[in-house]
Structure 1
Amino acid sequence: MITNIYFIRHAHSTYTPDELHRPLSKRGLSDAEKVAQTLMEHHIDYVISSPYKRAVQTVEGLANLIGQKVIINEHFKERKLSEHPVSDFEMAITKVWEDETFFWEGGESNVSAQRRSVKATLKLLNTYEGKNIAVGTHGNLMVLIMNYFDKRYSFDFWKQLEMPDIYKLSFLKENLKGVNKIWCR
């Protein structure tokens, strides 16, 4: 039985240092409506999301359309890069991808964030076998999950992601059988 997980990188957000409550921008809200319409064609059974507002807002329209509630899952929140804002984001994110065990003070390494998110993904595969699951999450974490199953999904892949972006990962049990890009802006 094939299980499909649709990983959805959140839509464009209005920057605030408050990661948990950062909302979607006007463009992001418009794109979230398009995400909902696009995924209606895929017969989604469950909608899961990171607790971050921008991720929830990206998938809540879909949940409403299918008559479901968004199930919050802490394990799909974005990786914490550092305890404090970094002065050079590009350098900071490059460093954690160059050395998967490296972490900035108070942050998560790629290994740690990947372990957390893959454990949650495997639990979804076992809990919802044969279903179509939409997961509202974040670009860095989404690519770390994809990288676990297929090393082709790397830092360079992350750099070309859009906001929002949708990738359908198809599994037979816990074995990745295919990846398809769904979202096209």
Structure 2
Amino acid sequence: MQLLLVRHCSADGQAPDAGLTDEGKRQAAALAEFLHTLSPDAIRTSPYRRALQTAEPLSQWTGIPFRVDRRLSERVLAGEPRQDWMDRLKDSFADPDLCLPGGESARCATERGMAVLAELAQTKAARAVVVTHGGLLTHLLNHFDARFGFEAWSRLTYPDVFEVEWPASPVARIWNA
């Protein structure tokens, strides 16, 4: 199965209800046109509004309904805002078991995301689009290629698309923002 792992388009914030900006809506339309050419036959998305709005144009273009899966939600680094969040995020890539109060470890986030991918692999889909968030996306990519870590996360674009073959293959970035 081919997986097209997508970071959502430009949004107006980080809260679950943050929607796409006007630029993000234009990006979503261009992304849908691009992904349509790859003939996906399944679409899964995070329940966050910005991810839904990223998946919706592709769903309309292809006629394939998307399925929402909360396991594709962004990883919560900590329960409360932190001044040192960037340093702690970097630390969490080095130590996947690091779990800040009220947060989720990188290992736990990866496991829940990989469970979605494993379930998709059990379907009849040949090519699936999975819309998620930068943090979870990077952890999923790291599962396939250990070179994906904090530095790769910092270079992600809105949107971004990576292609991998289930169960294991090299990661290929196929979106050029």
User: TM-score band, normalised by the shorter chain?
Assistant: over 0.9
Counterpart of 2:104? 108
Deviates more, 1:68-77 or 1:119-128: 119-128
Q: For structure 1, which runs of at least 5 residues remain unmatched after alignment? A: none
Output the TM-score relative to the length of structure 2: 0.94
Residues 88 and 150 of structure 1: CA distance in aligned 2, closer, same or farther (over 3 Å): same
Counterpart of 1:73? 69
Q: Percent identity?
A: 28
Residues 128 and 147 of structure 1: CA distance in aligned 2, closer, same or farther (over 3 Å): farther
Please, which of 161, 169, 173 is the counterpart of residue 177 of structure 1? 169
CA contact (8 A) 1:79 1:108 kept: yes
Moved runs in structure 1, 4+ residues, more than 4 A?
none
Say which SS state the counterpart of residue 80 (structure 2) adopts.
coil
Say which SS state the counterpart of residue 122 (structure 2) adopts.
helix
Q: For structure 2, which runs of at least 5 residues remain unmatched after alignment? A: none
Give the Cα separation in 2 of the matches to 1:49 and 1:84: 25
Give the Cα separation in 1 of the matches to 2:38 and 2:77: 33
Give the Cα separation in 1 of the matches to 2:105 and 2:169: 27
1:101-153 CA distance string (max 9 Å, x none): 11111100111111111122111112245x11111101111111111122122
Give the Cα separation in 1 of the matches to 2:149 and 2:92: 12
Q: Give the deviation of 1:30 after TM superposition.
A: 0.8
Output the TM-score relative to the length of structure 1: 0.90
CA contact (8 A) 2:40 2:127 kept: yes
